[in-house]
Amino acid sequence: MAKSNIIGGWAFVIGMIIAVLIGVGITLTDTILAVLVVLGIIIGLLNIADKEVHSFMLASIAVLLASYMGGGVLAKVPIVNLAGVLQSIVAMIVPAIIIVALKEVFDIAKK
């Protein structure tokens, strides 16, 4: 496995752990949000291979739609802050989406 894939994989795992911690009571502060954004950038730069772009973009759109449409409903779940989990995942995924989309547009423009 390439070193960049390992770094990107760990960035994803750390981001998901942070998202789960948000769900069990950690407050989403500006610092945590910044960490999630940086992790998303790392994921977009290092973890998404050319052959995975379309799958990643489709899955990311599904996550964004589910977060947007279901966030209000999930906010009413009293045990776990599922809306906070979704917000954390979105904070990590959006920078990755932007990076991957820009790389894809650049690749298309080169052809």
Q: What is the mean pLDDT of residues 74-94?
A: 80
Q: Residue 30: is it exposed, middle or buried by C-beta count within 10 angstroms (0-12/13-18/19+)?
A: exposed
* pLDDT given for residue 25 in this prediction: 78
Per residue in 29-50, pLDDT (tens digit) is: 889 889 999 999 998 888 888 8
Q: Are 81 and 24 in contact (CB under 8 A)?
A: yes
pLDDT band at 100 (very low <50, low <70, confident <90, very high): very high
Mean pLDDT of the chain: 84
